Structure formats: structure tokens, C-alpha cells
Chains A and B, each alone.
Chain A
Amino acid sequence: MSRTIRFQFTKGPEVRFLSHLDLVRAMDRAARRAGLPMAFSAGFSPRPLMSYSYPLAVGVLSEAEYADFQLAEDLTPQEFMERYNNHLPPGFRVLRAERLAEGAPALMSEINAALWQLELPGAAVDEVKRRWQELKGMDSFEVERETKRGTRRVNLLPLIFGLTKIEERDGAVEVHCLAGLGPEGNLRVEEMGLLLGFSPAEAVITRIGQFKKEGSRYQPPLGNRGFTWTDS
């Protein structure tokens, strides 16, 4: 077993408007306050060895963020979780932690899909369902995407894998959306809005899962509770 701990944590409403950089800084400082025995990079400005999964956009919540922390001393996942949770700011909470096996693949390579929960105020279930049927009937849904190298056209349809839930809840519609994440194919939050017809500034968006998708199999980077989903 290695001394690297992989853990799942939340980004709650209290810290909803933090950027990824803010989040990393807050997690780092909490680890220092908690006195976690972090391992540091070599060199003259040592940095703690932490790696995070794909960044969340500002304003987006999460129940399923993942990070790998390399420790300098042995600490049980249980101890790690308790000590860290005592010092994390409100909104951040470690939900589970495990020791990584020696030579385990990097966090990023274990993730290529996300499950998003969308709370759409003022929407109707039938409307969303109809929209989804329409999308499925289309050959492509192209948008302009701004990248560092300029704009290019992207077909968004292959990036959305399915809607696993469309339900009414407290006057809003709750949608669960499976979509691509990372360099193999990434659906941005605002593009999800374009596809499904909502404004991200008005919706409450929560990342509720991150997975390695192989065919119809979705496996989270931590724990064994994967699932199978095929859009019918």
C-alpha cells in the first residue's frame, strides 16, 4: 500500500462561488491547519503533493469531487478523514477516503464522465422530456467553442450520454444528466444549458458523480458502487 490517500469530498452552497484555484488553496490551507502530514515536492519552493479531478466551474456545487493526497507519514483513511473534516471550512466535507494501492493509475485517468444534477426552476417535466427526444432525433448539435487557439465548431450530441432522471421537485424540475468529462470529450456546463435549454446562472447545478465509463459501465474512482446505463 502506498501513502497516497484518495478521497471524495463535497463543495457545498457555502463555497459554491469559489473558483477551482480558490478551492485548491482552501483545501491546502485546511490540510495545513489540520496538521496532515503532507508530502512536499522537492526543490526550493516545496508544494504539497495533491492532485484534483477536473475543475468545477464557479457557481457549481458538488457531492463528488475527488483528490489524491500524498502523505509523508502513514495515516489511516479514517484518521485522515476525521482530522481533515475538523478543519475544512463549512461546505467542504470529506465523505470517504481510501489508501491507494501501490502503482495505482492517476486520478485523471480514472475519470471520463460525470453525472450532473440540474435543478431547473420554472421548467416543466414534459418540456424537458420532449426536448430530450428532439435532441436524440438530431444528427448533430453544433456550437462554437472558444479555445486557446481560437474558435472551432463542436458537435455536442456525442458528449451527452443520457438523462437518468427527469422529475418534478418543489416546483422545479430535477434532471440527472450523464455527460463526458475530460480530454476524451467534455461537455461544459453552459453547453449543457444550450442543449437542454436552461440558463446556468438560474439553475442549481451539482456534480453528483464522476466515473470511468467503459461502454455502458460507469465506475467511480473510489468504492465499488458502479452502475450500468444504456439510454433507451
Chain B
Amino acid sequence: MDRRLLPLLPLVSKPARYTNNEVNAQHKEWTPDRVTMALAFPDIYDVGMGHLGFKILYSIINGRQDALAERVYAPWVDMQALMEERGIPLTALESGRDLADFDLVGFTLQHELSYTNILKMLDLGRIPRRAAQRGEEDPLVVAGGPCAFNVEPLADFFDFVVLGEGEEVIHEILDLVQEAKRQGVPRQETLRQLARLRGVYVPSFYRPIYADGKFQGMEPLYPDLSAHIEKRVAEDLGALPFPQEFVVPYTEVVHDRVMVEILRGCTRGCRFCQAGMIYRPVRERDPQLLQEQVAKLVSSTGYEEISLSSLSSGDYTQIRSLVKDLIAAYQSCGISVSLPSLRLDSFAVELAEEIQKARKTGLTFAPEAGTQRLRDVINKNVSDQDLQDVVQAAFQAGWYRLKLYFMIGLPTETAEDLDGIAQLARQVLAWGREYRTARKRPEVTVSVASFVPKPHTPFQWFGQNPLEVLAEKQEYLMERLRHPGIQFSLHQVEHSFLEAAFSRGDRRLGAVLERAVDLGCQFDSWGDQLRFESWLQAFREAGLDPAEYAQRFIDPQDPLPWDHLSPGVDKKFLIREWELAQQGLPTPDCRWDRCSLCGVCFNLAVKNRLTEANGGE
């Protein structure tokens, strides 16, 4: 760590965030022949340490003789104030080196409300915010992660951006930067070379065209540049490296446990869900391999929990046997197994029962919409009957506390759909009273989020409801859910509004972002840190209207600022899905039904890989 922080540690909250020395942290020597990369997470340590993507990159990069990776997190506001007061720049945890000393600084873009933290970290690290302002001595600032699929609002701040899966392309990047460093290749030339790598986007090589304030398209500045940047995707997860060690933090962090990724991608095709579009196709990891990965991680970390992670863990073909085997192997040593994202079906209850046995704390289901009609619109293929079966089964199995996730502001929503949420919540409570076997009274928590249109989804064209409408709908629900046994939790509408504006943003939002940071905006996803008034001021000063970005209905024929950033899904598929949605027609999952012609397998030469098929060979 940075020794200059030592005298500050007694003065800040949770000082162990800044002290390093965790088990399995890698302290590689800074020799001139090594490419150095900072993995910069745009939030505090407690959040960033739970991120699996960076654990994977950390282990890949540090596994190379000629490279090293270190971790950097945003200091919390108390520490930031002290650092600024004493003129201490942002440094990496392992070596305590300045952020600006690294060859590469890589940010992950997990959600839109973390964008201000990126600029703040560059400021604290004394790296010029804009790529155009950086010189030969400055690091190359790169980004990846889900929001890279519309990185335009951040385009001016990154030298280059990676679309899709990082495990393979990271080697190509390191090789190239290593060579450039050795030969003293100028920055611009290095970027030209990087732009030739598949999946790499250099925003400064593309110019957006506007007419009458409307986005018209993206123009490549060099003839050899591709008009579309296609994401990187691995055919077979089994061929990708996975860490044998995780850094074990001392302080409490999110997802502080052994994590293995059992499958990647999801083809259920929920029409609001970006993850379900950009991570296609579905690829499962072999259960034998997963067992080995778990065994290595358990012994290298000493963790007391194993989590099987994916977008929808119940979909893993051999989930039941995998869970059984893991429980049999680890339960006696006090190691538990958890499945963080279970889909709503009765199978989920059986699985959850397997996992939780006696301590039946809480189960979470996500019907997303209150009526069958709207669930068909969003392609959440859950029927009223499914809901009834699963809820009754859960209460019968001994659970008494259920959490239900819904969204408001979805396309075609009417008052009936809102009433449906309230009715469903009461119905679930009634089933609880009828079917419960637990001694405790049934409790239902209804959590309501506002719909945010996301790029590359069939709902990308649909505008978010105005703030007042969302607030009214929340109010409407609150009144109807005032009932003993029902708890109601809401997302702040201002959060969802900003998220939508940036999710559908274009390059002009860069100026807004900069101004917002200057006005003190950061940690926007933290309820108590959001400065909404400052945000509105930043938009005003840039002459832009956030509502225009968040709430406008976009004509599907219009060019979109993210059209050139491709996850492999065809736009005509998205348009077809958008039309089917309005007719209330579902599209089945291509894993078990006919191909939905999304284009991913054809465009990227990949296909769904389920393990059962492998097992039978």
C-alpha cells in the first residue's frame, strides 16, 4: 500500500479497505520488461472486491511472466477528502504506486451510475480526463464490461474499449502494449494497432454525426476501420482460464466467497434484459471441471461459502447433481453452497430446499409484472399457474418470507397491471397463510424497480415513464400494498432516470458527466450521495435535456448511437421482438425450442453448449 496513507488510517471509516496485505494478493516486482496494468473498479473496495471479472483478469495478467496487475478502488469520501487535503494521489493497493505510473488503467463498466466515479478516480490519479489530453507518458485508459456496449457517453475518456469477454483478448492487448513499450511506439500508432484487434474499439477513431441535434450515424476516420465492432466471445468456457486463488479480504465485502461460473449467457429472452442479449450464446462449464475449481479455491482461500454464479443458475443442465455433490463434499466442514440467481419455478424450490435445509430464511422470486398479459409482453415466460405452484411449494417446504421483484413503467402497462402487482402480493400472502408449515407468520416483501431502457434489447426504443408518472405509480402501489404482512421497497426514481439517460446516451453526454463531477457528483448509486439537482444543472449547462435521452420514444428506423457496438444480436431480431411484444406474443428459449434467429450463432460462429450433450458423448 501507499505509506503516505498510514497516518490517515486512524481517521477514516473501515481503514482495512486501504491496507492491502490480504492473503493471495500478488506483489510482483516492477521491472522494466513488465507491462503494468491497474484494474480500477469505479466504486469502493467493499463493492469492487466482489467482482468476478476482475478476479479472472487479475489471475490471468499476474500469471504472465512479462506482466503484472494491481487493484485500485475509489476511496470513500472521508478518505478522499484527506487525500485531497494532503495532496496524496490515488495509488494501487499492492505496490502503492501512483495510478498514473501504470502502462494500462482498466475500468469495468458495470452500471451507468458508476460513471462519475471513473472521472473522479482519474482526477485523483492525476491522469487527464480526456483521451485527447493524454500524452506519451500517460497510461492507456481502457474499459470493458456490460456498459461498454454503449460506451458513447464515456467515449472521450477512454483510449480504447473492449467489447465482450476479456479472457482471450487481454493477452493480445498485453502482447501489443508490451511490444509497443519495448520499441517506443508512439501512442497514436499503438492505438491504431489496438484498433485492429477483434473486439477493440478506439472511440477517437470514430466521429458521430448529428443533424438538427439528432444523431445520424458514426463515421470511421480511417478507411481500414470496420464500421461495426463485434464483441469477443469464447466458444467453450472449458478452454478459458479460471483463477485457482482469490484475494481474501479482511473487511466485509460483497460476494465474499468462493465463486465459480457455471454457465455464461442466457437465452430466455426477457425483452427488457440487457444481460440476456449481450452475453449470448449459452455456454455451460463441465461439472467435473467446476468441482476441481471449487476444490482449489476452497483450499486456497478458506472460504466458508461456495456460490454457483451465472445469470440463471437453475438453468444449468446438471444443477441438481452438482449441488448435491458439492453439499456432500463440503457440508461437514461447515461450508455452505448458494445459488444467487434462481428463476421462478418449482424446481427452484426443490433446489433451494437442498441448499438451505433447515434455516429457511428467505426466497426471492421475480415475476417482474403483475399480469399474465404483461409477462407475455416482456417475454417472462412464467404463468399464473407456475407462480401459484412455486409459492405454495415454498410455503409448504417451510419458508415464510418471500420477496417478489417487479418493474413498473414497462411498455403497454396499464392500471390493471399495477393492480395485478398488488393482487399478486396479497394472493401470495393468502397462500402463505394457507400453506405455511413454518411457525412464523408469512411475510411478503414487494420490491419495485422502474423500467430502464437498455441498448441492444427489444425495449431499447421505448422511453422511460416521466419521473412524475413513476412517482405516481409508486404512490398508487404503496396505497394498495398497505397491508399487515406486506412490506414495500422502492428504487429512487431519480436513480432510474439518470440510469436511463446514460444507458441511451450519446457522446455529447461526456460534457455533462464532466460538469457533474466538477459539481461534486460521485457515488451516485449510493442513496445518500446522489446530488440530483447538480445533475440537472450539469445537463442544463450543456444545453441537453436528460428527458430527451431517457423518455423519448425512438423510431426503430432511426440510427442509434450504439449501433456500431455489436454483441452479435441482429437489429432486425430486436425489431421483430419489439413487434411481438406489442402483440403480447412470447418467444421460446432456443436452448429447448426452435432458433429465435437472434443472429449471434451465425454472426460470431458460436453455438449454445450445454453439458448434458457432452456427457452423453
Contact = CB atoms under 8 A, between A and B. Distances in A.
B23 interface: yes
Nearest to B8: A201
B299 A33 contact: yes
A58 interface: yes
A31 to B, nearest CB: 7
B334 A15 contact: no
The 10 closest A-B pairs by CB, nearest first: A29-B302, A32-B302, A44-B358, A201-B10, A17-B15, A33-B302, A46-B334, A22-B250, A17-B16, A14-B21
Interface in B292-311: 298-304
A55 interface: no
B16 A18 contact: yes
Given A29-B304, A46-B334, A91-B21, 8 more contacts: A17-B16, A28-B302, A29-B302, A33-B302, A44-B357, A44-B358, A46-B332, A89-B250
Contacts of A160: none
Contact of A29 (B251, B303, B336): B303
Contact of A28 (B15, B304, B357): B304
A33 B251 contact: no
30 contacts: A15-B250, A16-B19, A17-B16, A18-B16, A18-B251, A21-B252, A22-B252, A28-B302, A29-B23, A29-B302, A29-B303, A29-B304, A32-B298, A32-B302, A33-B300, A40-B334, A44-B358, A44-B359, A45-B334, A45-B336, A45-B359, A48-B334, A58-B15, A59-B10, A59-B15, A87-B302, A89-B21, A90-B21, A91-B21, A201-B11
Nearest to A31: B302
A131 interface: no
A85 interface: no
Classify chain B: how many residues form its interface, as a range: 20 to 34
Interface residues of A, number: 34
Interface of B: 9-11, 15-16, 19, 21-23, 248, 250-252, 298-304, 331-334, 336, 357-359
Contacts, number: 75
Interface string A190-203: 00000000001110
A47 interface: yes
Contacts of B332: 40, 46
Interface string A128-144: 00000000000000000
B23 A89 contact: yes
A22 B15 CA distance: 12
A43 interface: yes
- Of the candidates B332, B334, B358, the one having the most CB atoms from chain A within 10 angstroms of its own CB is B334
A47 B334 CA distance: 6
B250 A43 contact: no
Contacts of A25: 250
Contacts of B252: 21-22
A28 B250 CA distance: 11
A32 B248 CA distance: 13
Contacts of A44: 357-359
B360 to A, nearest CB: 10
A200 B15 CA distance: 15
B414 to A, nearest CB: 45
A15 to B, nearest CB: 7
Contacts of A35: 299
Contacts of A89: 21-23, 250
A200 to B, nearest CB: 8
A87 B301 CA distance: 10
Contact of B16 (A19, A45, A48, A202): A19
Nearest to A200: B10
Contact of B304 (A14, A32, A90, A91): A32
A19 B17 CA distance: 12
Contacts of A187: none
A30 interface: yes
A19 B15 CA distance: 9
Nearest to B298: A32
B19 A17 contact: yes
Contacts of A17: 9, 15-16, 19
A26 interface: yes
A43 B248 CA distance: 27
B228 to A, nearest CB: 47
B79 to A, nearest CB: 12
A46 B305 CA distance: 12
A119 B8 CA distance: 18
B474 to A, nearest CB: 36
Nearest to A33: B302
Contacts of B336: 45
Contacts of A40: 332-334
A82 B582 CA distance: 68
Contacts of B357: 44
Interface in A1-45: 14-19, 21-22, 25-26, 28-33, 35, 38, 40, 43-45
Contacts of B11: 201
A44 B304 CA distance: 13
